[in-house]
Structure 1
Amino acid sequence: MSSGPETYDAKPFDAHVVDETNKPELASSEIYIDPAAEKRLIRKLDWMLSPLMVLMFLVAYLDRSNIGNAAIAGMNDDLNLTGNRLNVAVTLFYVTYIAFEVPASLLLKKLRPSRLIPFFIISWSCVIIGAAFINNYASLIATRLLLGVFESGLFPCLTLYLSTFYQPAEQARRISYLFVASALSGAFGGLLAFGLTNLHGARGLAGWRWLFLVEGIISFVVGIMTLFLLPDNFETAWWLREDEKALMRIRNENAALYQGNSTNAETFDKSEVKLAFQDPKVWINSLCQFCANTCSFGFSTFLPTIIRGFGYSSVRTQLLTVPVYIWASVVYITVAFASDYLRKRAVFMVPMALTTAVGYSLMLGVSMTSTAILYFATFVTATGIYCVVGLNVTWIINSNAGYFKRATAIGLQQTIGNSAGIMAGQIYRIKSSDGRYVIGHAISLSMITTAAAGYFLMFTLLRRLNVKRENMSIEERVRQIDAGKKGDRHPDFRYTL
């Protein structure tokens, strides 16, 4: 490559080789990108991808968590859900959910996102529609198991899919949209539950049946939309011009310089899969996700039950869940933008986790007669839950380079993390509670504090690796490159802290 400027023929981006006197050795062959043009491109990606991603994730969470709204709307009585049957139904969803996450993420490229993701959505929509007509406990269990199968691949596939469009420093806020969608699904679900359960008796259907039926139909429509609107990658995106696709290629080439030149391999590489399973950082991150998800799943599924335990009526409870989720959404999207802007993860995650710990402490310690304070405590609890869960997903994407290592890491994190649903479904026992739910809150408190400690440990380990690579001699750097170290093992790779 010549030392002078090299013109790239994709106008108007005016790409050229970076002046090597102004850049570190790492970026000596990096192609310059006009910041204004890149900003326009990212804005276009956001307008075309984000609404669809949010819609998909919103209906996913709506359909998995509506069992909590249905439970207080008469489903428990109609299906004779005595004892811990509701808890078992909630738990079994996660048995099949966690079993298919790693395979789904590894198969995404081969089976094509534009086909696999709509297949998931349409399939679980049919299950939810069918759930509106079940008449016994066994049928409820069957629908929950099937729902877990079809919802399992959505989140790891979407996060992996977004990583092929956005660079590491751009990913937190985009993944935040997914978790904002999950929080808003709680608010939207509460409003839907309030409206639809009032249809009780219309056309001979109970209110909770209307809830399943209408939400299933909404999801089905979203699945059909996705089938036509979702591209496999930026090369097949019908809404990108050729010059914009050229800029996307340049962005990927530049990113490869910082990620060991193995960001988007087309051929399945089992060595990368093995590296993910051998990486202790992946396991630490995944265990932190398990702790945070215990809180997230328990809170999102049982929030209506928790608030009703404060002494509110069933109808009023449905409405009181809405402000909590809206607050959580606003906080999370603000934190995600700040996290991307500062390119920091742990500095936000540790304080957010400890804030949630304060919320659980309030719900455990405040008298049951102090209803207003207990309701306020749900806002404090919600403040950090979605932040830590979402930023930790972004963190594992940022910490693993090489397409199939990243795919395996995401799948493994989600498998371990979502197995928390098995426990979360059992810790909030309605029958044995006086409204305080001591066991559920106490376990959640211990889990979120453990997660905070884990995030700090991750920060310490990654910072140590970055410092070690910064101080690496030229000879050692060359030795490692000659030894074939790629991806995040490459000496030029730097971890986001």
Structure 2
Amino acid sequence: MLERDAECVTIRSQLDPDAYKKKERAARLKMDIQILPVCVLLYLLAYIDKSNISQAMLDGKNLPNGKVEDPGILTSLNMTPHEFSIALTVLFPTYMAFQLPSNLIIRKIGPRIWIPTLALTWGVVETLQGLVTSKAGLYINRIFLGLAEAGLTPGITLLLTFFYVPKELQFRQAFYFTGASLSGSFSGLLATALRKMDGVSGQHGWQWVFYIEGIFTVAVAIVCYFIIPNGPRGCFMLSPLERELIIQRQHAPTYRYQDLPHLALKLKEVEFEPTSENEGLLLTPPWYKEVLRTFTDERVYLTGILGFCVSLPIFSFTNFMPSIIKGMGDYSTAKSMLLSCPPFAASFVYSLCMAFVADRLQLRYLSVMLSFIITLVGLAVLWGCDEPMHRYGGIFMVAAGSYSGPPCMFAWMANNSAGYYKRTSALAFVHMMDNASGLVAAWLFNTHTEAPRFLRGTTTNLAITLLGMVVATIQECRIWQERRQRACGRRDECVVELYRRTHWPREALRSYLGDRHSEFLLEL
């Protein structure tokens, strides 16, 4: 065995099983306390800073003189709904393009520096958004906001894999991702309060929304430089023994690999055939080969499509929920923003419950299918009902179903990828596809011509949700088939060939081949 595994066994041998589990629980709790709150806060701020433009869009009351009290950003900048959709759209090309490079940079710089730097940058950009005086200025600001925020979500997703094993991952992913739903429940309240500052220092209420939220993000980013660790050794809350326990636990093969007796028998019969080209072979493949391998893996593409299908309702209703609710009745702007809060709060609770069950069972397919079904029912209610309270109930279901889906996607992709750069690039690709749905969502709802039913946007979301259910089923069938092929010994060739050339021990073969190794256990 490798030296790491030997140390891990030594730690276990020093403690009886109950004491070891107690020590492991204590270490996990300390990591949760140090890492998860800051991840939730950063993601909450990122989502608020990206989506608060929907709160800034709405106008206040129409005055008898024809003017508007507390005008929204459309009125202030003389923008049409079409131009507002452009402002939503221009954020995403840079947001998507920089996600993979950002995740690769983390390896060199470390999350302790890189993630707070991203937060500091987008906080400054968000603050400057309050100073824009034209639609062109708003477009430019949104482009840079997308560039600055791009690396946060895939970066946090990757960061959590440094600390947690597969059976713990989805709950933690859900915990930080529910920052999005928390932002939905919180940002409406905050925006309602901040827009009451309309006229203070000659600024509109929507400008104060950007100023205050941007400055707060900058302050949080500075604090994060002292909290976010690069890995278990950087967790100041852990004792030296707990740090070593977590490190060795992350490298323990039992969490990701299964021993196949038929493969061991095959390797015993293999004769060593060294060649000159194998003399300098490293224990880990070059990073660029691992990145390229990502884009030859069908599971990456299928999970990416799932990410798109799960996230389209999220972006649709994050950007337009206040407008959708306002169209249900004669609600004021403030009441529309306040009514948009409870659905997000409900999705927060449901997402955590679903993730807890999925981690316990380690069944990602059932988790994502249930999310799709709940979303589908909610969309059907919105599509077919005219009664405002029925439609409001449909929004609750859409929020709960859609927000519980992405953590499952992230955990499924992370747990089915092995090799640092393979996992890094696979997670970045899934996030890119996830955010590609934002490009589509920006054009699905026209608040001037399609309210209150928004049939075009609702129908599109229904179709994409059905597509997601089909793709999830294909993914599950393909993984089940691949697991059977590996169990039957039909995927042993690459392991046998590498062993023939190197005669490396089992752990080295697993490290080099990653998820291509026939003993790597794919999650269903």
Q: CA deviation at 1:479?
A: 2.2
The CA distance in 1 between the partners of 2:250 and 2:517, in whole Å, is 17
Change (3 A) 1:385 1:474: closer
Q: Which residue of 2 aligns with 1:305?
A: 323
Change (3 A) 1:248 1:443: same
Provide the secondary structure at the position in 2 that maps to 1:229.
coil
The CA distance in 1 between the partners of 2:519 and 2:81, in whole Å, is 57
Change (3 A) 1:257 1:66: closer
Q: Which residue of 1 aligns with 2:313?
A: 295
> What CA deviation, in whole Å up to 9, does each residue of 1:62-119 have, x standing for no partner?
1001010000141110011114011110111111100100100111110211111111
> Does the aligned pair in 2 maintain the 1:59–1:185 contact within 8 Å?
yes
Q: Which residue of 1 aligns with 2:108?
A: 110
Q: Which residue of 2 aligns with 1:385?
A: 402
- 35, 39, 49: which is aligned to 1:53? 39
Q: CA deviation at 1:10?
A: 7.3
The CA distance in 1 between the partners of 2:220 and 2:174, in whole Å, is 20
Q: Which residue of 1 aligns with 2:293?
A: 275
Q: CA deviation at 1:255?
A: 3.7
Change (3 A) 1:105 1:372: same
Change (3 A) 1:466 1:131: same
Q: CA deviation at 1:252?
A: 2.2
Which amino acid is 2:482 matched to? L
> Where do residues 410-429 of structure 1 align in structure 2 (5 Å cutoff)?
410-429=427-446
Aligned: 1:488 with 2:486: no
> What CA deviation, in whole Å up to 9, does each residue of 1:22-44 have, x standing for no partner?
xxxxxxxxxx9922211111111
> What CA deviation, in whole Å up to 9, does each residue of 1:166-199 have, x standing for no partner?
1111100000012211100011101101111112
Q: Which residue of 2 aligns with 1:317?
A: 336
> Does the aligned pair in 2 maintain the 1:10–1:246 contact within 8 Å?
no
Provide the secondary structure at the position in 2 that maps to 1:426.
coil
Which amino acid is 2:523 matched to? T
Change (3 A) 1:473 1:354: closer
Higher mean C-alpha displacement, 472-481 vs 184-193: 472-481
> Does the aligned pair in 1 maintain the 2:304–2:430 contact within 8 Å?
yes
The CA distance in 1 between the partners of 2:255 and 2:333, in whole Å, is 57
The CA distance in 2 between the partners of 1:486 and 1:88, in whole Å, is 44
Q: Which residue of 1 aligns with 2:478?
A: 461
Q: Which residue of 1 aligns with 2:383?
A: 364
Point out where structure 2 has 5 or more consecutive residues left out of the alignment.
60-71, 260-282, 501-508
Provide the secondary structure at the position in 2 that maps to 1:62.
helix
The CA distance in 2 between the partners of 1:257 and 1:222, in whole Å, is 35
Aligned: 1:235 with 2:262: no
Q: Which residue of 2 aligns with 1:155?
A: 153
Higher mean C-alpha displacement, 86-95 vs 236-245: 236-245
- 450, 466, 481: which is aligned to 1:433? 450
Aligned: 1:225 with 2:223: yes
The CA distance in 1 between the partners of 2:490 and 2:408, in whole Å, is 33
Q: CA deviation at 1:417?
A: 2.2
Q: CA deviation at 1:476?
A: 6.2
Which amino acid is 1:286 matched to? G
Which amino acid is 1:398 matched to? N
Provide the secondary structure at the position in 1 that maps to 2:453.
coil
Provide the secondary structure at the position in 2 that maps to 1:40.
helix
Change (3 A) 1:267 1:486: closer
Higher mean C-alpha displacement, 252-261 vs 342-351: 252-261
Aligned: 1:65 with 2:84: no
Equivalent pairs, count: 476
Which amino acid is 1:39 matched to? R
Aligned: 1:336 with 2:332: no
Q: CA deviation at 1:495?
A: 1.2
Aligned: 1:345 with 2:331: no
Higher mean C-alpha displacement, 477-486 vs 190-199: 477-486
Cα-Cα RMSD: 2.6
> Does the aligned pair in 2 maintain the 1:366–1:373 contact within 8 Å?
yes
Identity between Structure 1 and Structure 2 (%): 28
Which amino acid is 2:31 matched to? L
> Does the aligned pair in 1 maintain the 2:195–2:208 contact within 8 Å?
yes
Which amino acid is 1:360 matched to? L
Which amino acid is 1:288 matched to? L
Change (3 A) 1:377 1:304: same
Which amino acid is 1:150 matched to? A
Provide the secondary structure at the position in 1 that maps to 2:131.
coil
> What CA deviation, in whole Å up to 9, does each residue of 1:273-301 have, x standing for no partner?
11111001101110111122222111111
The CA distance in 2 between the partners of 1:479 and 1:209, in whole Å, is 64
- 391, 400, 416: which is aligned to 2:417? 400
The CA distance in 2 between the partners of 1:111 and 1:315, in whole Å, is 43
Q: CA deviation at 1:14?
A: 3.7
The CA distance in 1 between the partners of 2:354 and 2:421, in whole Å, is 29
Which amino acid is 2:177 matched to? F
> Does the aligned pair in 2 maintain the 1:260–1:487 contact within 8 Å?
no
Provide the secondary structure at the position in 1 that maps to 2:340.
helix
The CA distance in 1 between the partners of 2:492 and 2:522, in whole Å, is 22
- 201, 206, 209: which is aligned to 1:208? 206
> Does the aligned pair in 2 maintain the 1:14–1:33 contact within 8 Å?
no
Q: Which residue of 1 aligns with 2:469?
A: 452
> Does the aligned pair in 1 maintain the 2:324–2:451 contact within 8 Å?
no
The CA distance in 1 between the partners of 2:285 and 2:239, in whole Å, is 27
Q: Which residue of 2 aligns with 1:77?
A: 75
Which amino acid is 2:453 matched to? R
Q: CA deviation at 1:8?
A: 6.7
Higher mean C-alpha displacement, 291-300 vs 45-54: 291-300
The CA distance in 2 between the partners of 1:442 and 1:75, in whole Å, is 28
Q: Which residue of 1 aligns with 2:459?
A: 442
Provide the secondary structure at the position in 1 that maps to 2:252.
helix
Change (3 A) 1:269 1:8: closer
Change (3 A) 1:108 1:157: same
The CA distance in 2 between the partners of 1:456 and 1:255, in whole Å, is 28
> Does the aligned pair in 2 maintain the 1:293–1:418 contact within 8 Å?
yes
Provide the secondary structure at the position in 2 that maps to 1:35.
helix
Higher mean C-alpha displacement, 238-247 vs 273-282: 238-247
The CA distance in 1 between the partners of 2:353 and 2:78, in whole Å, is 43
Aligned: 1:44 with 2:30: yes
The CA distance in 2 between the partners of 1:8 and 1:354, in whole Å, is 42
Q: Which residue of 1 aligns with 2:118?
A: 120
The CA distance in 2 between the partners of 1:8 and 1:440, in whole Å, is 53
The CA distance in 2 between the partners of 1:256 and 1:480, in whole Å, is 23
Provide the secondary structure at the position in 2 that maps to 1:84.
helix
